[in-house]
Chains A and B, each alone.
Chain A
Amino acid sequence: MFGIIALGIVNTVLMSVLYRKREFGLLQALGFTPRQTGGLIITEGLILTFVSGLIGITLGLFLTWFFFRDGLDFSFAWDEEWSFSGIAMDPVFVPLFRTTRVIQSLVFLFLIGVFASIYPAYRATRIDVAEAMKFER
Chain B
Amino acid sequence: MNVTNINERNTAAVRTEEVWKIFEQEAEEVQAVRGVTLVIEPGEFVAMAGPSGSGKTTLLNLIGGLTRPSRGEIWVEGRDIAAMSNRELARMRLERIGFIFQAYNLLPVLTALENAEFPLLLQGVNGGERHRRVRELFERTGMAGLEDRRPGKLSGGQQQRVAVIRAVVGEPALVLADEPTANLDRAASDALLDMMEELNRDLGTTFVFATHDPRVMERSRRLIRLVDGAIESDERRGSEPVR
A-contact 0/1 string along B63-102, CB 8 Å cutoff? 0101100000000000000000011001101110001011
Decide: A31 near B179, CB < 8 A? Known: A22-B104, A26-B104.
no
Chain B residues near A31: list those with CB within 8 A: 90-91, 93-95, 119, 122
Chain A residues near B61: list those with CB within 8 A: 129-130
Cβ–Cβ contact A135 & B91, under 8 A: no
Which of these binds chain B: A8-16, A32-40, A97-105? A32-40
Chain A residues near B184: list those with CB within 8 A: none
| Partner of A30 from B58, B86, B94, B104 at Cβ < 8 Å | B94
| Partner of B90 from A23, A33, A130, A134 at Cβ < 8 Å | A33
Chain B residues near A35: list those with CB within 8 A: 87
Whether a CB of chain B sits under 8 angstroms from the CB of A59 is no
Dominant SS at the A interface? helix
| Partner of B66 from A22, A23, A34, A130 at Cβ < 8 Å | A130
| A40 → chain B closest CB, angstroms | 12
Whether a CB of chain B sits under 8 angstroms from the CB of A29 is yes
Chain B residues near A32: list those with CB within 8 A: 90, 122
| B62 → chain A closest CB, angstroms | 9
Whether a CB of chain B sits under 8 angstroms from the CB of A133 is yes
CA distance A22 to B106 in the complex (A): 10
Name the residue among A30, A33, A130 with the largest chain B CB count within 10 angstroms: A30
CA distance A62 to B199 in the complex (A): 60
Closest chain B residue, CB of each to CB of A135: B102
B-contact 0/1 string along A55-73, CB 8 Å cutoff? 0000000000000000000
Residues of A within 8 A of B (CB): 22-23, 26, 28-36, 129-130, 133-135
Sample of 13 more A-B contacts, CB < 8 Å, known A28-B90, A31-B91: A29-B93, A30-B93, A30-B122, A31-B94, A31-B122, A33-B86, A33-B87, A34-B87, A35-B87, A130-B58, A133-B104, A134-B57, A135-B178
